[in-house]
Structure 1
Amino acid sequence: MKKYFSLSVFCLLAIIMTSFGQIEDKRGLVAKGAELVKVRDDFSFTEGPAINRQGDVYFTDQPNDRIYIWNPNSNQISLFKEGAGRSNGLYFQLDGTLIAAADLNNELWAIDPKSGKETVLVPSFRGKKLNGPNDVWVRPGGGLYFTDPLYPRPYWEGIRGKEMEQDGQHVYFLSADRAELFRVAEDLKQPNGIVGTPDGKLLYVADIGDKKTWRYDINEDGYLTNKTLFCEMGSDGMTIDDRGNVYLTGKGVTVFDKKGEQIAHIPVPENWTANVCFGATDRRTLFITAMGSVYTLKMKARGVW
């Protein structure tokens, strides 16, 4: 989750997660004989994995204010950007621009993938600071959706560190031409993970505060309709595969099919699994961020662009 855990919570989760179980896979999503591989474990709290066209995965170490790159060919990790605005969720536009939910100053950023230079896309809403943009998804036809829950940060000062300026925790849409910014979901407790289908027709939003994930129809103008309960589980981060299965995180990775039926569970030996995406050029490597570590798992299912 996008907040720092107290010692008591760590202890409770440690008890829950001490037994590292076997992968449950009803539909053959995981490659035969595949095992979870720890790539590195010297971070503070990893988040926001996002794949570029070359199959590299960018991810954040949020407390240390850095963005890293995992190269699937070498299985090596390199530093991309320091001073990353405390970026959390990431997502690539089709033109290669990296979109980042940067909650140092409660902003949404666009980052040049070559220079690392950032541009602030969303500094505020209706003249007030956002709570802290958290996760983001870019739709194929342009425009993007992002969640804005409140997780008070130790680096926020004064009243801003205790109270939100917005009147709730909502989901927003920013048009492709950046001319329009408006709310598309205002009735959720704490929206967090977000992902859409590759045809741009459906959007999944995890309300981690209400332990539910919702599915919406996406209108051409960006508004959402036909809110439908997808499953009785919230999520921190999310991804989707070429079969339309939705991957939720928290206690490992839990996979649901299009109908909202649980079809797989991937245990991860950490207190919390924050986020997930498909990496590598064939998009058949599941890349998992969990606490101070990152993991990979070979898959039969394939990620979508």
Structure 2
Amino acid sequence: MLKPRFVKALALFALVAAGVAAEDKKAAVPGIGPAGEIKKAHSGFKFTEGPAADAHGNAYFSDIPNERVHKIDADGKLSVFREKSNFANGLMVIAKGEVVACEMSGAIVALSADGKDRRVITDTFEGKRYNAPNDLVLDAAGGVYFTDPGFRAPNPLPQGKTCVYYAAADGKVARLIDDLPNPNGVRLSPDEKTLYVFPSGQKEMMSYPVEGPGKIGKGKVFCSLAQAKEGANGGGDGAAVDSKGNVYITSATGLQVFDKDGKALGTIAFPEQPSNAAFGGKDLKTLIVTARTSVYTCPVDVAGHRYPGK
């Protein structure tokens, strides 16, 4: 016979376990995840950003202050992909293996698949350098949408304002948006009919109808971010989009997830505040999340969207 004290202890343990399970279930975003353990893949960096994955299971990310772009191969091995990266921030991999990078020193470039060569896509607009390109997204036409806020930019701003641009495949560049406070992250919907822009200077995240490559209509509020402190007006940073059109926005509270209509689905928390996110892994069901000094992986139930890029 079990002693009463032991029975009481077992009952207490069961209640605590049930409470933890309920809390874990509450913390997950229904139908999305985490679908398993959030793991710290690598750490010890100064400030990580710009995760991107290729079709072979490799992932890339920037360590901005250290001016390096790193590569994590399909087996999880870490290496330096590019030194002296000109403070590279946002990254994406195009079909032929080049890594397109936002250099905060003022340019959008394409780095060769081995990281050795650098091809300038655009480094001026109307004869002036960009402020400090931050994030980008590739479209099926071979163009690049990119943001140009004021972080790490010269003062006064070379462009005079913070903007969003489109660099077409033929080299022509158009300024699309110039009325947002530090536009930061940028993504396209899977059908490329909607451009999302995530400003850092306001809690309202924006969406714009895409009328053609590099042509957008009037913007509207896509969603409003939950705030870490009452009364705050903190904005977003980077983001990822899955195959269903759900949008995962990094913020002070974690990775806030919204459906394609802007409805809040929940938040995935990380040990460090996330800066950006991308889908990777062979099945695109792993979120690669850069967060301050580290890079994390988070398994999810929905596959990510892979941007084509030519």
Calculate the TM-score normalised by the size of structure 1. 0.85
Partner of 2:168: 175
Partner of 1:279: 280
Runs of 4+ in structure 1 deviating by more than 3 angstroms, as ranges, are 20-23
In structure 2, the CA distance between the partners of 1:21 and 1:236, relative to structure 1 (3 Å rule), is farther
In structure 2, the CA distance between the partners of 1:235 and 1:127, relative to structure 1 (3 Å rule), is same
In the alignment, structure 1 residue 197 sits paired with structure 2 residue 150: no
Residue type at the aligned position of 2:270: V
Q: Aligned partners of 2:77 and 2:267: how far apart in 1?
A: 27
How many pairs align?
274
- Alignment deviations for residues 233-274 of structure 1 (CA, whole Å, 9 cap, x no partner): 33110110011100000222110011111112111112x210
Higher mean C-alpha deviation, range 183-192 or range 88-97? 88-97
- Alignment deviations for residues 85-134 of structure 1 (CA, whole Å, 9 cap, x no partner): 11000012233221100012x11111111353111221211111211000
Q: Aligned partners of 2:61 and 2:112: how far apart in 1?
A: 15
Q: Aligned partners of 1:261 and 1:166: how far apart in 2?
A: 35
- Alignment deviations for residues 207-252 of structure 1 (CA, whole Å, 9 cap, x no partner): 1112221111112241111312101133110110011100000222
Task: Tell me if structure 1 keeps the 8 A contact 2:49–2:290.
Answer: yes
In structure 2, the CA distance between the partners of 1:23 and 1:287, relative to structure 1 (3 Å rule), is farther
Match runs of 1:23-172 below 5 Å: 24-30=27-33, 32=35, 34-72=36-74, 74-104=75-105, 106-152=106-152, 161-172=154-165
Q: Aligned partners of 2:26 and 2:109: how far apart in 1?
A: 36
Task: Tell me if structure 1 keeps the 8 A contact 2:203–2:224.
Answer: yes
Instruction: Give 3-state SS (helix, strand or coil) of 1:27's partner.
Output: coil
Task: Tell me if structure 1 keeps the 8 A contact 2:288–2:296.
Answer: yes
Identity %: 35
Instruction: Give 3-state SS (helix, strand or coil) of 2:65's partner.
Output: helix
Higher mean C-alpha deviation, range 40-49 or range 211-220? 211-220
Task: Tell me if structure 2 keeps the 8 A contact 1:23–1:267.
Answer: no
Task: Tell me if structure 2 keeps the 8 A contact 1:140–1:199.
Answer: no
Partner of 1:13: none
Deviation at 1:22, TM superposition (A): 7.5
Q: Aligned partners of 2:131 and 2:202: how far apart in 1?
A: 18
Unaligned runs of 5+ in 1: 1-19, 154-160
Task: Tell me if structure 1 keeps the 8 A contact 2:284–2:303.
Answer: yes
Partner of 1:17: none
Instruction: Give 3-state SS (helix, strand or coil) of 1:226's partner.
Output: coil
Deviation at 1:23, TM superposition (A): 6.5
Calculate the TM-score normalised by the size of structure 2. 0.84
- Alignment deviations for residues 134-190 of structure 1 (CA, whole Å, 9 cap, x no partner): 00000122211000000136xxxxxxx332121210000011121x10111111111
Q: Aligned partners of 2:29 and 2:112: how far apart in 1?
A: 41
Partner of 1:225: 217
Deviation at 1:31, TM superposition (A): 5.2
